[in-house]
Each structure stands twice: as structure tokens, then as C-alpha cells.
Amino acid sequence: EDSDDRTTTMEMDMEENKLRESVEKNKEVYRKHYMSLKNIKVEIEHMKAMLKKNRRQIQLEFEHWWKDHKDEDNKMNVKPKAITGDKVADENIAEFYRMRDQILTSMN
């Protein structure tokens, strides 16, 4: 029986060692993937920040362009173009845009 016990103990020790090795390998794979994902997250956050910055810059450039465009129209006393072909509707649309521009200007 003593021999059987030793054999069983040795088999259990071998199995335990195999499991430990497997756990260590899995830990290493986990760490490697975790670090990879962590680095990717940093890159994504950087890209999001750059996207936000670029979006704001484009918005500001458009607002400046729009203001300059409207200033040029006002200097030349440009009359609104016919949009629908209906004089009353076109005047109402033009008035809407004039009022909207006044509101936006007052907000800045």
C-alpha cells in the first residue's frame, strides 16, 4: 500500500505541477493581452481628444467664414435670392434667417 500511496502522491504532484504551469502560462497570456488593450485604450482616448479638438476647430472656422460671408452680403446690400419662387414665402424665409443670425450674434 505504501507503494500505491507514493504512486498516487507522485501522480497528484505531477498533475498539480501541470496545472500550475498551465495557470502560469495563462497568467502570462492574460498580462500580455491586458497590456495590449491598455495601450490601445490610450490610443483611442488620444484619437477621441484629437477628434473633439478638430471638430471644434472646424466649427470655429465655419463660424468665422459664415460671419465674413454675412458681413460681405450686408456690405453689398445683397437681397435674398428666390428660394421657392413664391415672393411672400421667400421674404418670410429671408426674415427667418435674418432673425436667426441676430439671435446667434447676440449669443456670442
- For the full predicted model, state whether its pTM sits above 0.95: no
More confident residue, 92 or 21: 21
Residue 66 has, within 13 A of its CA and on its CB side, a CA count of 12
pLDDT for residue 104 is more than 60: yes
Find the mean pLDDT for residues 80-89: 78
CA distances from 1 to 16, 59, 93 (A): 22, 85, 101
Q: What is the pLDDT confidence band of residue 1, given thresholds at 50, 70 and 90?
A: low
